[in-house]
Structure 1
C-alpha cells in the first residue's frame, strides 16, 4: 500500500460491509429485473434477492454512475412502499432500500432505516447505517447512540464494538482507551483490536507511550497478518527515523522479510532503502565526509505525509553547511519550508540566516519571496451561501487570508479535518486576525445535509454550493478534502496539505502566520 493510500485510510477510519442475517438465495443470480421483482415478491425477507433486484434495476438505467445512483434508487420507492404495505412486519424490505440509499450517501436513507429497526431492533447493520447518516446530519450524539445499539444488537461483532469505542475518541479519551483495551482482550484475533491500538498511538503526544503501544501492537497483531498493525508499523518506522534510525532499519528489514503480498513487500523494501541511506549518511557526517553523505542522500526519497521529509532535508542541509555551503543549505530549506513549514526547519533557517548576516525579519521575507514564486491566482467564483441564500464571491474577502476546503457531507476525512481547522481559525480570530473559513460542497445531491450539519456541529465556516465538475476545472480538485490557503490578493499560497494531528496543526499555523504579516499584503 502506498503512503498516500495509507494517509487516506488513516484519516477515514474506513467502514467495512457487514452481513445482515436473512434468508439466502442464489435464485436471482442470472435473472432479469422483472424476474427478480417476482422473486422478491415470493421471498420478501431475502436480503440477497433485494440486493440483486436493486442492483439489476440501477444497472438497467442508461448513464448511471455512482454520482447519480440515488436518483435511480428513488425510482424504486413506490415499489418498496407497496411492499411495505403488503408485508408490514418485514424489516428487510425497508432495510434493503434504506441500505441502498445509505450506500450512495443519500439523505433519503434515514426514514427507511428507522422503520427497519422499529420492526427489528436486532438489525445491527441498519443501526450502523443510521450512525453514519447521523454524522452527515451533524448529530454526533445520535451517531454514538446508534453505534451502541449496533454493538448490542450484534455483541459478537468486533467491528461494531470498535466503532462505538472510536466515537469517544474526542469526547472521552479515557473511556475510548478503556473500550479499546476491552476489544483487545475479547477479540484477540480481530483487526478491530489492531485498529484501536493504531489510533491510540496516533493520538498520543508522548513518544515513549507511542513506542510502547507500537511494540504491543507488533506483538499481539503481527504486521504481516493484520493490516492495521502494518499501518501502525509504518508510523512507527517514520517515528524511529527521527529518533532511532538504526532501529528503524531493523524494523523495516524484519517486516519486509515477512511480507508475502508483493505491493506491501515493495513498500517495506523502499523503507529499508530509505533507512539505509539515512543511517549511512549520518555515519558519513560523523566521520566528517559531507560530500559522501550528500551523494548517498541524493537518492533518498520520501513523501511529506510521513513527517520524515523534514528529517531528510535537515540532514542534507547539515552536510552542505559542513562542506562550507551555508548559502546552499539556507536556499534549499527556504524552498522546502515555503511549501511545508515546520518548527525545526524554521529554527534551522534562523540559525543559518544568522551565519549569513540575516535577522529573523529578513529570513521571513525570504520565505515569502519563495512563496510568491510558486503562487497562482485563485479562480474567481460567486457561489450560493447555504445559510443565507446570498451570493458570496472570493473577491468579497480581499485583504483577508482565506482557508478554503472542498468537501461534502458524506466525506469522512472532511468531517475528520473540521475540528482541527475550527481550532486553528478560532485561535487566529481570538487574536483579531482577518481570516475567513470557506467550505465548498462539491455534491449538490447532499444539499439536504448541509444546514443541519452546520447547526449540529457548530462549525463556523461559510458553506457554499459548488459541484465536482466545477471544482475539478477551476481548482484541480480530484478528491476531497482538498485544501487551499489564499492570501489577501487572491493568490493561492499553500495547497496539498491535510490536517489530522498536532504536528500538522502547527504546520498550518506557520502557513497562516506567514500570510498574516501586513508587510506581505498590498
Structure 2
C-alpha cells in the first residue's frame, strides 16, 4: 500500500486514538465543509479516480469535493463497486471518509472492504474506531486482534489491543501491557503501556514498582508518556508524605529534561518537607506561611494536600474552629472521603457529633447552591424531558457524544457508582451534544448496558450554569429541588468513592 494512502488513513484514525485517553475533555467534532467545484473540474476529478482506483488520496479529494452526504456520491461509488467488485480500495475509501466524519454509514463500506481483502489492516483500524461508537467492545477487540495478527510489529495496535481488556480482563490487560513494554522498548507505546498499567493498578507497591521501571526503561527526557508517569509518581510520593523522595525526583527530572515544571515540583516537595519540620518544632505561624506559598494546579494531588495540612496546623495550634472552617470551605467545592473524615474529627473536638457535622455540611452546600438552568430536550423515545421531570431525585448529568473517547472511558466508572442507587433516588442523564451521531446512541446503550437516559442537545441553546462550553465530558449534580451543587468533576478508577460521596451529600439536601 502506498505512503499516500497510509498518511490519509493515519489522519482518519486520529479520532480513534482519542478513545484511549481517560482524563481529558474534548471538543465535539463538526462535519467538514464541502468545497464547491465547477462541474468540469468535478468530472475531471472523477475520471482521475476511475483511472487510479487504488489511490485513496484521489478518492478523498473527490469525496470532499462532492460532499460526504451527497446522494450522487453514493450512487457513483455503488456503481464503481459493481464495476470493480474485487477492488477493496473503493469501499474502503468511502468507508474511511465516512468514519472520519463519525458517520454510522461507515461500517457497511468498511465491512465490504475486508470481505474483499481480509488483510486490509487500515480497514480493521477504522472498524475498531467505529465499533467503539456503537458500544460493540467485543467486536472492536476482534478487529484489534486481527490487526496484531496482520502486523505484529505495529506498536500502536499492540498497545490498543492490550488496553481493550482493561475493564473485562485486568489480568490479561496486565500481561499484554507488560509484553508491549518488553517488545516495544524503544517506542512511545511501550511507555504508554506502563503508564496506563500503573494508573489502573490499585496496589500501591505494585504501582510504584511500575513507575520505577517506567523511568528506568523509558527515559522521561525522550518519552512523553514516561514524563506523564513521573508526574503521577510524584503525586503518589506526596500523598504518602515522602517529601524528600518527591523533591529528589523533581530535581532529577529537571536536570534530565530541563523542564521548569519539574523544578517547581521539587520546590513544592521541599516546602511540604519544611512545613512538616516547622510542625514538628511547633512553629505554627511558619508552617502556615509555608503552606500559603504553595501554588499548584487543581489537578495536582498537592491541591488536596494543602487545605488538609492547613487544617491540621490550625488544629494543633489550638484553632480547631478555623481548621473546621478551612476544610468545610474546601469540601463544599471538592469533597472526598478523607476530607470528610477530618471534618468529623475536628467537629468532635468542637463538641459536634456526626449528625451535627453532617448538618453543617448540608448547610454549607445549600449556601453555595444556585438554581440550575432549566432545559427541555428531546429523548430517543419520541418525546422530550425537562429538568423538572426529575424533581424529587438527585440528577446526575453528563454531556457526551458517541465519538468521545474520554466520555466512553468515564462511563464504566459512572456505572460502578450509579448502580448503588435506586432509580427513585437518582436520575442519570446523558446529553448527546453531536446530533449527527444520533444513530449510534441507542445501539451504544444496548450494547454496553449503560443505564443513563439519553437526551439530544440543541445547538446554540442558553445553557446557563449547566454549560458544557461545547466540550465533553462535562458533569453536573443537581439536588431534588433543582439546585446545582457540584460541577466540573471527573471520575476514574481512583476516585469512584468521591462521586458516590457527592451523590450521597446531594441526596441529603
- TM class by shorter chain equals 0.7 to 0.9
CA shift for structure 1 position 273: 3.0
Alignment-derived partner of residue 163 in structure 1: 160
Output the aligned Cα RMSD.
Answer: 2.4
- Other structure's SS at 2:299 match: helix
The equivalences for 1:137-286 within 5 A come to 137-243=134-240, 244-259=242-257, 265-286=259-280
Contact 2:19 2:408 in 1 (8 A): no
In the TM superposition, what is the alpha-carbon distance from 1:236 to its structure 2 partner? 0.7
For residue 291 of structure 1, the aligned residue among 273, 285, 288 is: 285
Question: 1:342 pairs with 333, 336, 343, which one?
Answer: 336
Q: In structure 1, the residue corresponding to 2:397 is in which secondary structure?
A: strand
Matching residue of 1:11: 23
Q: CA deviation at 1:401?
A: 0.6
Q: SS of 1:304's equivalent?
A: coil
Q: Check conservation: 2:19, 2:409, Cα contact below 8 A.
A: no
- Under a length normalisation based on structure 1, what TM-score does the superposition of the two structures give? 0.86
Superposed displacement of residue 198, structure 1:
1.2
- The 2-side partners of 1:38 and 1:256 are apart by 57
Q: Give yes or no for the alignment of 1:395 onto 2:392.
A: no
Structure 1 residues 355 and 362, CA gap change in structure 2 (3 angstroms): same
Distance 2:428 2:122 in 1: 36
CA, structure 1 residues 472+299, in 2 after alignment: closer, same or farther (shift >3 Å)?
A: farther
- Number of the residue aligned with 1:499: 491
Residues 25 and 474 in structure 2, CA contact (< 8 A), matched pair in contact too: no
Q: Within 5 A, what are the aligned runs for 1:34-433?
A: 36-55=45-64, 71=69, 76-243=73-240, 244-259=242-257, 265-386=259-380, 388-429=381-422
SS at match of 2:495: helix
- Can you list the C-alpha shifts for 1:38-60, whole angstroms capped at 9, x where unaligned? 432322101233334445666xx
Q: Do the aligned residues in 1 keep the contact of 2:92 with 2:123 (CA within 8 Å)? A: yes
Post-superposition offset of 1:457: 1.1
Aligned to 1:64: none
d(CA) in 1 for partners of 2:296 and 2:75? 54
CA distance in 2, matches of 1:125, 1:280: 55
Higher mean C-alpha deviation, range 360-369 or range 83-92: 83-92
Q: Could you give the per-residue CA deviations for residues 189-226 of structure 1, whole angstroms, max 9, x where no partner exists?
A: 11222111111111111110110000011111111111
* Cα distance between partner residues in 1 of 2:225 and 2:91: 34
In structure 1, runs of 5+ residues without a counterpart are 1-5, 15-31, 59-69
Q: 1:331 to 1:13 in 2, by over 3 A?
A: closer
Contact 1:330 1:353 in 2 (8 A): yes
- Where structure 2 has 5 or more consecutive residues not aligned to the other structure, the ranges are 1-17, 27-40
CA contact (8 A) 2:431 2:456 kept: yes
Contact map agreement 2:22 2:405 (CA 8 A) in 1: no
TM-score scaled by length of structure 2: 0.88
1:403-482 alignment runs, 5 A limit: 403-429=396-422, 434-470=425-461, 475-478=466-469, 479-482=471-474
Structure 1 Cα separation of the partners of residues 45 and 222 of structure 2: 40
Q: CA contact under 8 A between 2:127 and 2:143: conserved in structure 1?
A: yes
Query: Which whole-Å deviations, capped at 9, do the CAs of 1:11-54 have from their partners, x for residues lacking one?
Result: 3699xxxxxxxxxxxxxxxxx76654443232210123333444
> Could you say if the C-alpha distance between residues 12 and 151 of structure 1 is closer, same or farther in structure 2, counting changes exceeding 3 Å?
farther
* Structure 2 CA distance for partners of 1:455 and 1:10, relative to 1, 3 Å: closer
Selected match of 2:482 from 462, 486, 490: 490
Aligned residues: 477
